[in-house]
């Protein structure tokens, strides 16, 4: 409740939260909100010369190159993009937390191995690594989610590693150890709770990156495969009609941009609210 009230006092964060909530509601309610099945090719969805129809009439946002309703495909594409965003980012945060906590708490050889591996992963451009992994595997919704998770955990791991090292040297941790507490108790009862705000913030910020990366992979043809709609492959299928039917690219592109911006606005607000170094300031 405190977090929600703090967000309500920030216009940009409130705007982001409203947009995120709106997109989630549309995605969850896609089967009821969509006027047509996203895969149906309709004879009246194309003009007499076979061109897609512009926005208006029974087709709110027009039709695509196969006569399918664009609005319906965007609604179902939201489900695909958000599922990948939540699943992939959830896995990435979990991996980053595990690596960061273990490396920051244990120190020594295990810490060096884990952090050098993290540095190695950081050295590879995330997009190129994702393209390579997606090309090697058979693209599908869950494969794309796994690929994105495997390239997005390194930032979380480095942040958690730094915070864990700092926490492990605090007096209350030293006191707990002197009383005979085991490593698992210290990690789960005293260190992990302090890292939850960091995980929430990076989880929220990471969804924006994940949505953009999924759209990029789908646009390149190695993401979610048709006929299952996603915002990226809608643009991919329509790119050759950019001049003749610009709405086919503009609408999904605008939605991707607005969704990513909104998650970033909410994540930035959560960082200011939950970051202990920001409390009591202002």
> Does pLDDT of 281 surpass 50?
no
pLDDT single digits (tens) 18-42: 999 999 999 999 899 988 888 888 7
- Residues 122-147 have pLDDT tens digits of 887 777 777 777 777 777 778 888 88
Instruction: Round to whole Å and give the CA distance between 148 and 135.
Output: 13
Structural domains present in the chain:
71-278 (1.10.3720.10)
- pLDDT class of 51 with cuts at 50, 70, 90: confident
Question: Rounded mean pLDDT of 115-120?
Answer: 87
Please give the mean pLDDT across all residues of the chain: 82
- The confidence score (pLDDT) of residue 279 equals 47
Pinpoint the alpha helices (H) of the chain.
Answer: 2-8, 11-28, 30-33, 70-106, 108-123, 126-136, 141-168, 171-178, 183-185, 192-219, 231-238, 247-274
Q: What is the reported pLDDT for 103?
A: 87
Q: Is the pLDDT of residue 166 over 90?
A: no
Where residue 125 falls (left for φ over 0; alpha for ψ -120 to 50; beta otherwise) is beta
Per the omega criterion (within 30 degrees of 0), is the bond before 10 cis? Answer: no
């Amino acid at each position: 409740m405190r977090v929600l009230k703090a967000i309500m006092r920030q216009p940009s964060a409130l705007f982001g939260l409203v947009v995120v909530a709106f997109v989630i509601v549309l995605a969850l309610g896609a089967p009821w909100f969509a006027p047509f099945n996203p895969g149906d090719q309709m004879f009246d969805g194309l003009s007499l010369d076979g061109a897609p129809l512009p926005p208006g009439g029974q087709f709110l946002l027009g039709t695509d190159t196969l006569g399918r309703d664009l609005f319906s495909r965007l609604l179902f594409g939201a489900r695909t993009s958000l599922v990948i965003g939540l699943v992939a980012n959830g896995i990435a945060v979990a991996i980053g937390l595990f690596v960061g906590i273990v490396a920051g708490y244990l120190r020594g050889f295990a810490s060096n191995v884990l952090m050098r591996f993290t540095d190695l992963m950081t050295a590879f451009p995330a997009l190129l690594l994702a393209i390579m992994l997606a090309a090697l595997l058979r693209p599908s919704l869950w494969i794309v989610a796994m690929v994105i998770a495997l390239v997005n955990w390194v930032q979380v791991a480095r942040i958690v590693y730094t915070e864990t090292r700092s926490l492990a040297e605090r007096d209350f941790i030293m006191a707990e150890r002197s009383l005979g507490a085991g490593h698992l108790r210290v990690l789960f009862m005293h260190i992990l709770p302090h890292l939850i705000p960091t995980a929430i913030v990076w989880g929220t910020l990471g969804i924006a990156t994940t949505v953009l990366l999924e759209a990029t992979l789908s646009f390149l043809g190695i993401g979610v495969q048709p006929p299952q709609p996603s915002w990226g492959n809608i643009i991919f299928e329509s790119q050759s009609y950019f001049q003749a039917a610009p709405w086919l690219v503009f609408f999904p592109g605008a939605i991707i941009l607005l969704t990513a911006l909104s998650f970033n606005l909410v994540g930035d607000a959560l960082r200011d609210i939950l970051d202990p170094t920001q409390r009591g300031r202002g």
